[in-house]
Amino acid sequence: MRRHLLSGADLTREDALLVLDTAAELRALADRPIKKLPTLRGRTVVNLFFEDSTRTRISFEAAAKRLSADVINFSAKGSSVSKGESLKDTALTLEAMGADAVVIRHSASGAPHRLATSGWVRSCVINAGDGTHEHPTQALLDAFTMRRHLGDLDGRRVTIVGDVLHSRVARSNALLLSTLGADVTLVAPPTLLPVGVEAWPVHTSYDLDTELDKSDVVMMLRVQRERMNAAFFPSAREYSRRYGLDERRFARLPDHAIVMHPGPMNRGMEISANVADSTRSVIVEQVTNGVAVRMAVLYLLLSGPDTRLDDEPAGQEVEK
């Protein structure tokens, strides 16, 4: 595996399966009275969150603590993007504290990449969501959840519905799931599909109804209500009518199909309350699985020779 996890594309099929298999063993620990493992004793994991995300931060924190790592939560919210130099200064602070891994959430696409390649820190960098770019551990936990219900993902049909344009979850899932052999279809109004999506390893559709009966998984993405004001779609009601997963559409899914959502949900907008709470909705389980997957990622990135000891900062790397 690479030293950082920045994108779903950083994982080969072998890497991804290693993470998922490791997570499966670690998932079993959740049922033990003693959930803690001594594996990362003495290691320091910093949660560097420039953007509020209580659920992701707590998930990483629980994962790190169950592996006995020391966890430092560094909430840098308020350091606005306009004060961009703060990323470097924050990074230098973390380096001085001896962070072994930095879990970073940032509103700017590419900020984790910047942290990993700038030479400011020697830590492993884990992307916990950057701007409208990627969220690879979310994709891993989604894939993990799918595997628990459907087995091997090879040839499975996954339909991802909603605001693909602004969704880091969709980007990471499209990359990871196709690496794992799944057949991914992105469904969205044309305004919410990125330019150049033809080059992605996925199918696209503007019509949810034609995709339902062949889907093994339907993943609904959160739709921000403010997109409405930017003319991406006329109204919440119209969006919900055309792209929402309501009971009528839910009834058309194959019996084995599962419903997913990365949260937080807009009940009544992209997903109806009854569908969200149905037995085939695995939304709550996604949260549980998140801890196991993040434990696996931390273990796999942080075990092995201590890179801090033999690595000098790489310095500014400019690829030509």
Partner 1 sequence: MTDYLLTGARPLGGEPTDLLLRDGRIAEPADAGKKVVRVDADGLVALPGLVDLHTHLREPGREDAETVLTGSRAAAAGGFTAVHAMANTDPVADTAGVVEQVWHLGQMAGYVDVRPVGAVTAGLGGSILAELGAMADSAAGVRVFSDDGKCVSDAVLMRRALEYVKAFDGVVAQHAQEPRLTEDAQMNEGTVSGVLGMRGWPAVAEEAIIARDVLLAAHVGSRLHVCHVSTAGSVELIRWAKSKGWEVTAEVTPHHLLLTDDLVATYDPIYKVNPPLRTAADVEALRAALADGTIDCVATDHAPHPTEDKECEWAAAAMGMLGLETALSVVQHTMVDAGLLDWAGVADRMSVRPARIGRVGDHGRGLGAGAPANLVLVDPTASRTIDPADSASLSRNTPYTGMTLPGAVVATFLRGRPTVLDGKLC
Partner 2 sequence: MTSAQRSGLDLDTSRVVLDEADIARAITRIAHEILERNKGPQGVLILGIPTRGVALAQRVAAAMSRVEGVPVAAGSLDVTMYRDDVRLRPARTLEATTIPSGGVDGATVVLVDDVLFSGRTIRAALDALNDVGRPTAVQLAVLVDRGHRELPIRADFVGKNLPTSLVERVEVLLSEYDGTDAVVISAAAGGRA
Binding site for partner 2 (CB under 8 A): 1, 18, 21-22, 25-26, 28, 32-34, 36-40, 67, 299-300, 303-306
132 part of the active site:
no
Cα 68 to Cα 187: distance, rounded to the nearest angstrom: 41
Residue placing its CB nearer to partner 1 in the complex, 119 or 268: 119
Q: Which residues contact 19 (CB under 8 A, 6 or more apart)?
A: 11, 140, 293, 296, 297, 300
> Could you tell me how far CA 90 lies from the centroid of its own chain?
23
Q: Catalytic residue, from 135, 157, 168, 171: name it.
A: 135
Q: 165: which 2 tokens?
A: 């344009």
Q: Catalytic residue, from 44, 56, 90, 145: name it.
A: 56
Least CB distance from residue 31 to partner 2, whole Å?
Answer: 11
83 part of the active site:
yes
Residue placing its CB nearer to partner 2 in the complex, 53 or 289: 289
Q: Distance of CA 36 to CAs 40, 63, 308, Å?
A: 10, 9, 25
Q: Which residues contact 32 (CB under 8 A, 6 or more apart)?
A: none
Residue placing its CB nearer to partner 2 in the complex, 25 or 213: 25
Least CB distance from residue 82 to partner 1, whole Å?
Answer: 7
- Give the up-direction half-sphere exposure of residue 33: CA atoms within 13 A in the CB hemisphere: 0
Three-class DSSP category at 74: strand
Examine residue 109 and tell whether it contacts partner 1 (CB under 8 A): yes
In degrees, rounded to 5, the angle at the alpha carbon of residue 194 between the alpha carbons of residues 191 and 200 is 140
Least CB distance from residue 294 to partner 2, whole Å?
Answer: 15
Task: Choose the contact partner of 194 out of partner 2, partner 1, none; CB within 5 to 8 A by kind.
Answer: partner 1
262-291 residues in contact with partner 1 (CB under 8 A) are none
Site string for partner 1, 193-232 (x = CB under 8 A): -xxxx-xx--------------------------------
Q: How many other β-carbons are positioned within 10 Å of the β-carbon of residue 291?
A: 25
Least CB distance from residue 186 to partner 1, whole Å?
Answer: 11
Examine residue 58 and tell whether it contacts partner 1 (CB under 8 A): no
Q: Catalytic residue, from 13, 83, 214, 248: name it.
A: 83
> Could you tell me how far CA 315 lies from the centroid of its own chain?
29
214 part of the active site:
no
Q: Catalytic residue, from 27, 57, 105, 249: name it.
A: 105
Least CB distance from residue 276 to partner 2, whole Å?
Answer: 33
Q: Are 124 and 100 in contact (CB under 8 A)?
A: yes
Cα 85 to Cα 62: distance, rounded to the nearest angstrom: 30
Which backbone phi and psi does 100 adopt, to 5 degrees? -85, -30
Cα 45 to Cα 225: distance, rounded to the nearest angstrom: 34
Which positions are annotated as active-site residues?
Answer: 55-56, 83, 105, 135
Q: Give contact residues for partner 1 (rule: CB under 8 A).
A: 81-85, 87-88, 106-111, 113-114, 117-118, 130-134, 168, 171, 194-197, 199-200, 318-320
